[in-house]
Structure 1
Amino acid sequence: MSEVLCFDVYGSTHNQHSIVDEIAAVTGLPTDLAADLSRLWVDHQIGYSMEVSLMDAYEDWRELTVRSLRYALEYYGVGPTDETVETLLAAYEHLEPYEDLSHFGRLREAGHDLYILSDGTPEMLRTLAGNTGFDEYIDGIASVDEVGVYKPHPDAYRTIEGRVDRPLEECTMVATHTFDVAGASAAGMETVLVNRFDVPPTRLGHDPGLVVDSYAELADELS
């Protein structure tokens, strides 16, 4: 396994649904509907990113986050005022990590270089990493914003080559989304699926090189 480990963030290291309580408080929706709204928000973020990539009409992740949030609010009958949107975007900057970050420390101690490789803008990723302490464990950030196309397009993964002195084939993508793992594999990367949701791990014939159920297990495997 490569010593350069590239981590997806939104939905992989950090839980996009960890702000359901904030959504409920801001919108006045009961918690179960706030959770549904959160899922719709995330589904449309991903859907929009793939749509704009196919249409060659790139908009950055913050803009797609706003657009998908406004859609989800309207869908659930909540007026998407600027104040509501800004409040929830501020909460989005404090998404909780899925696991104790000490496991990433174990990976670094074992000699691995850790990078973020994400759809997020550099500013959004720096802010989230700083707010949650993740910045203490990473060596750098590679954002698809640099190439103007989203995962799983091959160019999205090649952004890491500008951060490390290695070819893409010597870097490993670590993600929870099966489409992300498949895209990285198709681009030539080694891959790890963090299968915390126990989903079928294959996508279009691109099997992950390693399947774990947590970052704790990943650290056990690679330390």
Structure 2
Amino acid sequence: MTISVCIFDAYGTLFDVSAAAREAAAEPGCESLARLWPTLSDRWRAKQLEYSWLRAIMGEHTDFWQVTQDALDWAMESLDLADNSLRARLLDLYRRLSSYPEVPAMLTRLRDAGLPAAILSNGSPGMLGDAVQSAGIGDLLADVLSVESVGVFKPDARVYGLVIDRFGCPRDQVLFVSSNGWDAAGAAHYGFRTAWVNRAGAPVDRLPARPEHVLSDLSTIPDLALT
């Protein structure tokens, strides 16, 4: 297949969304998270996505940083974690999530081969800037695109259209990569070539379109894009 650009979702795809709770649980003074952090992380992420979808349906957009805070507040309350210092620490860590281990080498292969890579994310520009800087991958990306340009969250087609506006290539020359099955399905429905990074081994979502490739991590993306 001819690919002109590789587009990556950010949170859960390039950046490990469980890292904030996991790292906080290992810090002195956060012993309350020792047993709870996986549950907190899962609930935080699930509510974050749920709020993005509901806001898109309701036409009540706010930026993803506010959604992230609202989701954390719900998750903490669900576990009886009333701790403002912990909340602040979790949010601070979320601003600088670590990338998955294979990300730098994978992006370097794409760059060295002359194939541009970019982010398309629900994240607000400030959040994405912090994460990219913290992960040290800024020089490996051609651009970082945020839904704030259109004021609605994925999988609205206007979000995927930002890629075409920026890179000017046909839809079927875009390889879109996401760890979210619904996002990969949305991009496939839009007309992108798609790869779903299914780290958890989950079933494929029953939606009008399905991802073309299902991968366990990001390491083989250059093999798909460059052949």
Give the alignment's TM-score, normalised by structure 2: 0.90
Provide the residue aligned with 1:178 in structure 2. 181
Matched, 1:10 2:26: no
Q: Secondary structure at the match of 2:6?
A: strand
Q: Which runs of 4+ in 1 moved over 4 A?
A: none
After alignment, is 56-65 or 105-114 more displaced?
Answer: 105-114
In structure 1, C-alpha distance between the alignment counterparts of 2:137 and 2:201, rounded to whole Å? 25
Q: State the aligned residue count.
A: 222
Aligned-residue offset at 1:31: 2.2
Q: What is the SS of the residue equivalent to 1:104?
A: helix
Which residue number corresponds to residue 42 of structure 1? 45
| 1:27 Cα deviation after fit | 4.9
Which moves more between the two structures, 152-161 or 28-37?
28-37
Q: Deviations over 1:61-100 (max 9, x none)?
A: 000001011111111111252x433321110122121223
How far apart, in 1, do the equivalents of 2:200 and 2:114 lie? Answer: 28
Retained in 2: the 8 A contact 1:161–1:168?
A: yes
Give how far 1:3 is off: 2.0
Q: Residue in 2 aligned with 1:215?
A: 218
Contact 2:121/2:145, CA 8 A, preserved across alignment: yes
Partner of 1:133: 136
Work out the CA distance in 2 between the residues paired with 1:84 and 1:59: 24
Which letter does structure 2 place at the counterpart of 1:51? L
Partner of 1:97: 99
- Cα contact 1:16–1:42 (8 A) shared by 2: yes
For residue 207 of structure 1, report the CA deviation from its aligned partner.
2.3
Q: Partner residue of 2:88?
A: 86
Extract unaligned runs of 5+ from structure 1.
none
Identity of aligned residues (%): 29
Q: Is residue 99–residue 215 contact of structure 1 (8 Å, CA) maintained in 2?
A: no
- Counterpart residue number, 2:56: 53
Alpha-carbon distance between aligned partners in 1 of 2:224 and 2:200, rounded to the nearest angstrom: 19
Residue by residue, what CA displacement relative to the aligned partner does 1:86-140 show, whole Å, maximum 9, x if unpaired? 3211101221212231111112222311010000011111110011112121100
Does the 8 Å contact 2:98/2:134 carry over to 1? no
Name the SS for the 2:167 alignment partner. Answer: coil
* 1:154 to 1:80, Cα distance in 2 relative to 1, 3 A: farther
Code of the aligned partner of 2:196: L
- The two structures, once aligned, show a CA RMSD in angstroms of 1.8
